[in-house]
With several copies, the nearest count.
Chain A
Amino acid sequence: EEVVVFAAASLKTAMDEIAPAFEAQTGHEVTVSLAGSSALARQIEQGAPADIFISANEAWMDTLEEDGLLAPGSRSDLLRNSIVLIAHGADAVPVEISPALDLPGLLGEGRLAMALVDAVPAGIYGKAALESLGLWDTALPQVAQADNVRAALALVSTGEAPLGIVYATDAAADDNVSVIGTFPEDSHPPIVYPVAELAGREGAAAVAFLAYLHGSEARAAFEAQGFEVISQPGAGD
């Protein structure tokens, strides 16, 4: 049996590990389509042949749920992530992220690289965090918004922007940037990656894969990428 998984592109590395492992274990076949969460959600709305959707964006999952496109009861939160403040250079001086943070001082003439602050989750969370810390208004004029987190990271990595706000998972792997602070969890809505089975596509393989995602092998793969796996009541272990 075949399972088609639509997954946010940021999960590529993890999915590249999980899918073959699942296939080996169960004999099912997994096809993973990686793209932006919004594109995937739209495709699902237009009848894409997806069995499972892992979104990096809660809002899109909510939309699908409202439209009745999810298999009832199949939605759960799979992963948690955090956003961090990064600076260019391998060993930048850490700062304390608090309302007292002197962002303009740190930025100087430079830019604060973020993902699109009204459209892309990482940007939305970053904006919310800065707002709750009372830093947004001073930061706003210096914010440079990229179309995704990876592009924001690249801006800092190349030194184009001295600072940036990205996911912890992205920051970890780049030698040209250092994490100089993590935004407090309560400064923004929880960053979760919801997963769900799609309505009308329920099948044994899909159910099995869903379970596998919550299982220990998958957990290892996700954690290796820096994600925090949200424990499921009643799932796997």
Chain B
Amino acid sequence: MEWLGPEEWQAVRLSLRVSFWATLSGLPPALLAAYALARWRFPGKQLLNGLVHLPLILPPVVTGYLLLLTFGTRGPIGSVLQEIGLVFAFRWTGAALAAGIMAFPLLVRAMRLSLEAVDPKLEQAAATLGASRLWVFVTVTLPLILPGIIAGAVLGFAKAMGEFGATITFVSNIPGQTQTLPSAIYAFLQVPGGEHAALRLVAVSVAVAMSALLLSEWLARRAQRRVSGT
């Protein structure tokens, strides 16, 4: 597309990368949280539940600010992670972290909903056939909740594509590093007459997300067909 400048292309690529990794690396912890919430009983369960929902409840700026305080180079977690070479500040990784955290509640809910719909009788059957808890999860539960995982991933990816407030607050806007599509769009909207440029980027953003959506629908249909067992 000629009508996108190189910096804008960069933003597109970055947004894709950020959203992809945000979703992907969000999946395992989200699955764990969903499993814990759906299946386990433990003290502080409602606390975990609340924590998971927090990014949804808080205005994104606040989330971004809290991220800055904890995952920043001087933050309690950020400083430790830095020791092992994991830096979030002003990096695309930070953008992915912010997007991932914002998408987290959506991932968890979708998975949890699917987990709660899994027939425990099938899991029992697997256990009688010798599968340990972990194997039951891998061979029965996981395939059965695949539609939920896909649904969660789609929501998460879409959310990550659109996330702006927390990202820019946490890692600011550095072209090529942390300037995602929404940041670029936001910048255009701040100046009089920037609407057209902004709309062009919105169109790109929508196109990208729609492709992801179509792909996910296709995957979900396949998974659903597997699960419904015909």
Contact = CB atoms under 8 A, between A and B. Distances in A.
A145 B7 CA distance: 15
27 contacts: A13-B192, A31-B177, A34-B190, A41-B192, A42-B68, A47-B72, A48-B89, A49-B90, A59-B191, A59-B192, A63-B193, A111-B174, A118-B187, A120-B190, A143-B174, A144-B178, A146-B169, A147-B165, A148-B190, A151-B169, A154-B169, A158-B75, A159-B72, A160-B68, A160-B90, A169-B192, A173-B193
A9 B169 CA distance: 13
B224 interface: no
A18 B112 CA distance: 51
Given A46-B72, A151-B169, 4 more contacts: A12-B188, A43-B72, A144-B172, A146-B172
A8 B69 CA distance: 21
Interface centre among B69, B189, B191 (most CB of A within 10 A): B191
A160 B169 contact: no
Nearest to A155: B172
A225 B84 CA distance: 43
Contacts of B68: 42-43, 46, 154-155, 158, 160
Contact of B191 (A38, A146, A151): A38
Contact of A33 (B74, B164, B174): B174
A107 interface: no
Interface of B: 61, 64-65, 68-69, 72-75, 89-90, 164-165, 168-169, 171-179, 183, 186-194
A63 B192 CA distance: 7
Contacts of B90: 43, 48-49, 111, 144, 160
Interface string A180-217: 00000000000000000000000000000000000000
Nearest 7 interchain pairs by C-beta = A173-B192, A119-B190, A9-B190, A144-B172, A46-B72, A63-B192, A119-B187
Interface centre among B68, B171, B176 (most CB of A within 10 A): B68
Contacts of B74: 46-47, 158-160
A71 interface: no
Contacts of A54: none
B194 A13 contact: yes
A32 interface: yes
A119 B192 contact: no
A154 B75 CA distance: 13
Contacts of A116: 173, 186-187, 190
A143 B75 CA distance: 21
Contacts of A144: 90, 171-174, 178
Given A42-B65, A47-B72, A47-B74, A145 B173 contact: yes
B173 A34 contact: yes
A60 B165 CA distance: 19
Contacts of B186: 9, 35, 116, 119, 147
Nearest to A10: B190
A13 B172 contact: no
Contacts of B61: 39, 151
A126 B130 CA distance: 68
A82 to B, nearest CB: 15
Nearest to B192: A173
A158 B168 contact: no
A192 to B, nearest CB: 17
A36 B61 CA distance: 11
A60 B174 CA distance: 20
A41 B174 CA distance: 15
Interface in A128-170: 143-148, 150-152, 154-155, 158-160, 169-170
